[in-house]
Amino acid sequence: MTPADTGAANDIPKHRYDARLANAIEQHWQDRWETERTFWAPNPHGLLADVNAERAALSKLYVLDMFPYPSGAGLHVGHPLGFIGTDVFARYQRMLGRNVLHAMGMDAFGLPAEQYAVQTGQHPRVTTAENIATYRDQLRSLGLAHDPRRGVSTADPSYYHWTQWIFLQIFESWYDADADRARPITELTAELDAGTRQPDDDGAAWSARDAAARRDYVDRHRLAYIDEAPVNWCPGLGTVLANEEVNAEGRSERGNFPVFKRPLKQWMLRITSYADRLIADLDRLDWPEPIKLMQRNWIGRSVGALVDFDVDGTDLSIRVFTTRPDTLFGATYMVLAPEHELVDKITPNEWPRCPQEWRGLFGAERSPRQAVAAYREFAAAKSELERTAEGRVKTGVFTGAYAVNPATGEYIPVFIADYVLMGYGTGAIMAVPAEDERDWEFAEEFSLPIVRTKQPPADFDGKAFTGDGPSINSANDEVSLDGLDVAASKRKMTDWLESSERGEPTVTYKLRDWLFSRQRYWGEPFPIVYDAYGPRAVPESMLPIELPDLFDFAPTVSDDPDALPAPPLARAENWVRVTLDLGDGPKEYTREVNTMPQWAGSCWYYLRYLDPTNEDAFVDPAVERYWAGATHGGAPTGMVDLYVGGVEHAVLHLLYARFWHKVLFDLGHVSTAEPFGRLFNQGYIQAYAYTDDRGFYVEAKDVVERDGGYFLDDAPVAREYGKIGKSLKNVVTPDEMIDNYGADTFRMYEMFMGPLDASRPWQTRDVVGVYRFLQRLWRVCIDEDTGEPHVDDQALDVDTARVLHRTIAAVRGDVDALGFNTVIARLFELNNHVWGIVESRGRAPRAAVEPLLLMLAPLAPHISEELWSRIGHSGSLAYEPFPVHDPALLVETTAEIPVQVNGKVRARITVAADADAAACEAAARADERIAELLAGKAVRKVVAIPGRLVNFVV
C-alpha cells in the first residue's frame, strides 16, 4: 500500500458499506443459510420431509431454471441473469407464504463435457466433477437460495438409473390412436392374443403368426423402436444427429462439420404420435407467443388430401399429398423425389413421344433409365449448401412415364426432381404450376403446360397465383368447382375424391420421429441387450446399467463421408458381452453400444428435483402430486409454475421434455399434462468489444472513452457489440464484480439493467449506481463512524406513509410480472425519501426502514438480512411476511391535471380527486393563463376527463 492510499483509507469511516464489508456480510449469511438449512423445501413425506416440515402444509410453488452445462470456462456475467431472476421471484414467494421449490442441477452428460475432457486428456467423470465444483462455488457466491439436496447431476448413476427407467417405460409402450394416448405394450399383446384387436399391418391373422413374427410386430409398435432410416451422419463428430441438430447449411450445430444423409439402424422415439397433442396443449400454457409459434411451425401440421394417380400402362398408382386439392384440375405434371421407390418401377426402357426439352440435360443423350440414374447421382452428390447456393434453379428429368389426372382424365408426364423431398408427405406431388410458385418455375424450365384453376385479380402480374379467388376450368362430368372460393372448392373436391375412391382427406406433419441414439461415450447407456432376433429390455431390477470405465473414450471421427459409425462403447468388449437371466434362464446377450443423446437427462430433471434421493421410484407419487399442485385443488396444467431460460431451447429441449412428460402422464406416473405451465425467456447480456487498427481484438477492460472516441493507451480503437467471450476479449466475470462491489450489488445491477426478457449491454461503469444505493441504505440504518444502528420508533409523517404504501403496491405488482428493474427504481425512491428524514432528524423511522428491508430482501438478500438483524431481529427474514399496503393511504384527495388547448399542455391545475367533468372544466377556465388563451376565441369542444385532463378545442 502506498502512503497516499494509507492516508485515504484513514478518511473513510470505519463502518462504511464497501466491498470488503459486503463480502464479509455475504460470507456470513451464506454460511448461516447453509447451517440453518434455511432454504430446504420440505416434501410432504419421505426422505426430504424432516426439516422445516411445517412448510409442507403451505401451498407449493415450483420455480425452475434451465440447468447449466458445467463447461470448463466457468461463469461470466451473462450466465446468471436468469438464475438471479428466479431467485428474486422465489424469495419473494417465500415471503408470501409459499413452500417454494428452487434448486439447481447440472446437465453433465453430452458433447461439451466430452469434448472438454478429450481436449484435456482426462476422463470426463473427473473433468465434469471439477467443473461442477467450480460452478457450485460461483453460484453459491451469488447468494442463490437453492435447496442443495435437490441439485442432481445427470451423469450420476443414481440419476441416470431413472433416465434408463423412463426409457424402458417408453420402450414398453405403444400409442393407441383410438384412445389417443400411450398404453403399456402388454395391453397390446393381450388384446391381440384375445382377438379383441386385429393387426393393423395388412399381414396374416395374429393367430397365424409365429413367435418371431409376433415379436417383430410388437417391436414395430413400440414408442421406442429401431429403424433403418435415412439419418444425419456426421463423420466429423463421429455420430449421428437429430434433424434439429443440423443447420440449414447441412452442417452440425456443434462444430459445424458436414452432415450426410445415409440409411442406418438407429433408435427412434415416436414423438410424431404426440404431434396433435403437442400443438393443442400449447393453448393451455402461459408461454411467450413467439415460442408457441416456433413449436407449431416446427411440428408443421398441415391439412390436405391424399390423391391417387394411375400410372399409364401399369397397375401402379402414385399417391401424392396436397394441401390444395381444389387445384387438381390444374395438375399438368407430377414430380417424385429422386429416391422414391416407384421410380424404378415406372421408368420405361425407351422414351415415349415427348418434347425434347423434357429430357433436359440428363436425358438428352441417354435412355430414361440412364437419365434417371444420372440425375439421382447428381442430386445425391449435392450438399445442402450447394443446393442453397444455386439460387434454387429447378432441375429434374422426365422419367418417360405418364399418369392420369383423376379429375381431367388427361395424361400428364411424371418427372423426378430434387425440389420434392422424400421426407415429407408421400415424397411425390401433383404439380399445379398456375397456383404454386415452385411448380411454375419448374414448368417454365421444362416448357410444361400451365392451366389456371383460380381466377387471379385483374392487376395480377402473371405468375403463379396462390391467393384466394373463384375456381375456373374446374369441372368434369361428375363435379364442378367453378365459381367457388378456395375453402369451398377444397371441401367439394375432397368429398368427390373420397366418394369416388380416388383419394381421402389427411393431415401431415413436418415433425419426424426423434432419432435417439448417439455414437458417444459420455451419455446414458441404453437398458437394452440383443439376442439373435433383436432388442430385449433389461429388467428394472438390473438398473442402472453403468457406463464402463474406458481409457479411450474419444469418438471415432473421420473426414470420409463413407466411414461407418464406431461407438466407443463397442471397445469395452467385456462389458458388451453379458450373460443375463431375463426370466427365461441365463443366456448370452450383447449390450447396446450407442448412448442416449444429451437431451435425455434434461427431459425430466425437474421431476427428479422433487425426490432426488428416492431409490425405489423416480419420484414418490404423493410427492409428485404435492408439487404438481394436485393436492391444492383445481386441475393443474403444468408441473412447474415458472420456468426461466434462454430462447435457444424454444424447440429442442422444450419439445422433447413435453413429449416425455406426456408419455409419463399417459402411463399414470405424473399428474399434469404438461411439464412447464409458465415459461419466461430471459434476454442475453452482451458487451462491447474493441479492435485496434490491425483489426485484432484488444482487452476491453483497458479501453478508455475520451472525446467521443475509444482509446487503448493513446491509440484509437473501434467499438463493436457482441457476445461475451474470450475470442472478443470482453469477458467480465461475476467473481471480479463480487470482489469489487459484493454479490448484492452485482445481483441488483443485473436486475436493474433492463427488463428480464430483453438483451442488454454490460457496462461496468453503470454498476456504481446500485452500489451507491446500497451504501446509502446502509447509512440510513447505521452510523458509519460507530457502526451503531440509528433507527428509532418515530411515527411516520403522512407524506412518508403515502410514499411507503405507494411503493409497496407498485413493488408487489411489478415483482409478479418479473419487472425487477422498476421494482428497484421504486426502492431507490423510497430509500432517497427516508434518507431525507435521516438528514433532517438524524434517525430513520423503523416503520419505514423495516418494510424497505423486507422489500429489498429478494433482490439484495445479504445486506437486508444483516441490517434486519442489526436493527434488532434475531432470525432470518427469509420467511417474514412481505409488506402489505394500506389502500386508504393510496387514495389521493387532490389531483394535479394538465389543461390542454388544442392538445398542447398549457397549464396544470389542482382539483379535488373526485371532481366531476364540469368542476374540472370550471377550474380550468378559472386558470389565469388558460383564460388568457381562450379570450375572444370560440371554444368548439371541451374534453374533460375527471382525474385525467381538460382539453379545449378552439
Region 726-785 residues binding RNA, contact defined as CB under 7 A: 752-755, 758-761, 763, 765-766, 768-770, 772-773, 775-776
Task: Quote the CA–CA distance of 133 and 241 in Å, as a whole number.
Answer: 30
Q: Which of 668, 555, 654 is nearest to 239 (CA)?
A: 555
Q: Is the dihedral of CA 24, 26, 27, 29 positive or negative?
A: positive
- By beta-carbon proximity to RNA, the closer residue of 758 and 931 is 758
Strand segments (E) across 376-463: 397-404, 411-416, 428-431
Residue 163 CB partners (closer than 8 Å, separation 6+): 154, 524, 596, 600, 601, 604
Q: Minimum CB separation from RNA for residue 822, in Å?
A: 5
Quote the least distance from Cβ 729 to RNA, whole Å: 20
Regarding 951 and contact with RNA (CB under 7 A), the answer is yes
Which cell numbers hold the place of 242? 437429430
Q: Candidates 139-147, 344-352, 827-835, 865-873: pick the segment binding RNA (CB under 7 A).
A: 827-835
Interface residue with RNA, options 264, 443, 528, 897 (CB under 7 A): 897
b (16+ CB within 10 A) / e for 358-382: bbbebbeebebbebbbbbbeebeee
Minimal distance, residue 160 CB to RNA, in Å:
28
**Considering the complex, what minimum distance in angstroms separates the CB of residue 433 from RNA?**
11
- Report the residue number, 351 or 424, with the smaller CB distance to RNA: 424
Nearer to RNA by Cβ, of 302 and 367: the residue is 302
902 binds RNA (CB under 7 A): yes
Q: Which three cell numbers stand for residue 477?
A: 362430368
Q: Helices 356-363 and 368-381 sit at what angle, rounded to 10 degrees?
A: 50
Task: Pull the grid cell for residue 398.
Answer: 422426365
User: Which of these segments, 107-115, 168-176, 468-476, 891-899, binds RNA (CB under 7 A)?
Assistant: 891-899
Residue 216 Cβ vs RNA, minimum distance, rounded to whole Å: 29
Question: If binding is defined by CB under 7 A, does position 293 make contact with RNA?
Answer: yes
Distances from the Cα of 197 to the Cα of 210, 212, 859, angstroms: 17, 19, 60
Smaller CB distance to RNA: residue 166 or 811? 811
Among 370, 447, 500, 832, binds RNA (CB under 7 A): 832
Describe the crossing of helices 81-95 and 743-752 by its angle, rounded to 10 degrees. Answer: 100
Residues 363-392 that bind RNA (CB under 7 A): 387-388, 390, 392
CB of residue 655 to RNA, shortest distance in Å: 11
- Is 290 an interacting residue with respect to RNA (CB under 7 A)? yes
- Nearest to RNA of 170, 923 (CB atom): 923
* Stretch of 156-164, 289-297, 548-556, 561-569 contacting RNA, by CB under 7 A: 289-297
Helix orientation angle between 743-752 and 861-870, rounded to the nearest 10 degrees: 120
Beta carbon nearer to RNA, 305 or 569: 305
Residue 459 is a binding residue for RNA (CB under 7 A): no
Q: Which is nearer to RNA, 544 or 742 (CB)?
A: 742
Instruction: Give strand pairing partners of 789.
Output: 782
Which CB atom, from 372 or from 950, has the smaller least distance to RNA?
A: 950
State in angstroms the smallest separation of the CB of 191 from RNA.
34
Neighbours of 341 (CB within 10 A): 10
Q: Shortest CA distance to 41 belongs to which of 153, 149, 158?
A: 149
Scanning residues 837 to 866, which ones bind RNA (CB under 7 A)? Answer: 839
Given a contact cutoff of 8 angstroms between Cβ atoms, the answer to whether 663 and 182 are in contact is yes
923-942 residues in contact with RNA (CB under 7 A) are: 941
Count other Cβ atoms within 10 Å, centred on residue 4: 8
Place of cell 461496468: 764
Which among 203, 240, 215, 228 is positioned nearest to 534, based on CA atoms?
215
CA 816/CA 882 separation, integer angstroms: 13
Q: Cell numbers at residue 931, please?
A: 383564460
* Minimum CB distance to RNA, residue 246 (Å): 9
Please report whether residue 945 would count as binding RNA according to CB under 7 A: yes
Among 65, 147, 436, 744, binds RNA (CB under 7 A): 436
Cβ at position 769, least distance to RNA in Å: 2
Q: Which of 821, 843, 847, 934 binds RNA (CB under 7 A)?
A: 821
Only segment of 59-67, 78-86, 135-143, 818-826 that touches RNA (CB under 7 A): 818-826
Closer CB to RNA, 532 or 935, in the complex: 935
| Residue 812 binds RNA, judged by CB under 7 A | no
If one asks whether residue 322 binds RNA (CB under 7 A), the answer comes out as yes
Choice between 640 and 652, CB closer to RNA: 652
Q: Binding RNA by CB under 7 A: which of 42, 304, 638, 883?
A: 304
Q: Which is nearer to RNA, 668 or 903 (CB)?
A: 903
d(CA 655, CA 126): 31
Work out whether 334 is an interface residue with RNA (CB under 7 A): no
> How would you list the strands of the sheet with 941-945, edge to edge?
904-912, 894-901, 949-953, 941-945
Using the rule CB under 7 A, give the single segment among 296-304, 583-591, 635-643, 668-676 that binds RNA: 296-304
Q: How far is the CB of 781 from RNA (least distance, A)?
A: 14
* Contact pick of 491, 712, 898, 917 for RNA (by CB under 7 A): 898
The distance of closest approach from Cβ of residue 516 to RNA in the complex, given in angstroms and rounded to an integer, is: 19
The distance of closest approach from Cβ of residue 394 to RNA in the complex, given in angstroms and rounded to an integer, is 6
- Among residues 233, 321, 362, 656, the one that binds RNA under rule CB under 7 A: 321
Stretch that binds RNA, among 144-152, 265-273, 794-802, 895-903 (CB under 7 A): 895-903
Site mask for RNA (CB under 7 A), range 9-28, x = bound: --xx----------------
Q: What is the full DSSP assignment across 746-798? A: HHHHHHHSS-TTS-EEE-GGGGHHHHHHHHHHHHHHB-TTT--B-EE-PPPPH
Q: How many residues does the chain have?
A: 954
Residue-by-residue DSSP string for 303-362: EEEEEEEEBTTSS-EEEEEES-GGGGGG--EEEE-TT-TTHHHH--SS--S--HHHHHHH
Q: Say if strands 514-515 and 685-691 run parallel, antiparallel, or are unpaired.
A: unpaired
908 binds RNA per the rule CB under 7 A: yes
Binding of residue 133 to RNA (CB under 7 A): no
Restricting to residues 193-252, name those near RNA by CB under 7 A.
248
Q: Which of 121, 179, 615, 904 binds RNA (CB under 7 A)?
A: 904
Residues that contact RNA, how many (by CB under 7 A): 91
CA-derived radius of gyration, the chain: 35
Distances (CA, A) of 77 to 268, 304, 567, 732, 815: 39, 49, 37, 6, 22
Q: Based on CB atoms, which residue is closest to RNA, 504 or 540?
A: 504
Residues 589-648 that bind RNA (CB under 7 A): 647-648
Q: What letter does residue 365 receive in the DSSP assignment?
A: S
Kindly tell me which residue out of 285, 824, 848, 920 binds RNA, with binding defined by CB under 7 A: 824
Bridge-partner residues for 471, per DSSP? 454
Q: Does 891 bind RNA (CB under 7 A)?
A: no
Site for RNA in 399-428 (CB under 7 A): 418-428
Query: Looking only at residues 495 through 534 of this chain, which bind RNA when binding is defined by CB under 7 A?
Result: 508, 510
Q: CB under 7 A: which stretch of 22-30, 292-300, 370-378, 669-677 binds RNA?
A: 292-300
Cell readout for 234 is 456426421
Report the Cα–Cα distance between both ends of the chain, in Å, rounded: 73
Cα–Cα distance, 110 to 597 (Å, whole number): 7
Cα–Cα dist 476/306, whole Å: 20
> Which of 394, 518, 536, 862 lies at the binding interface for RNA (CB under 7 A)?
394
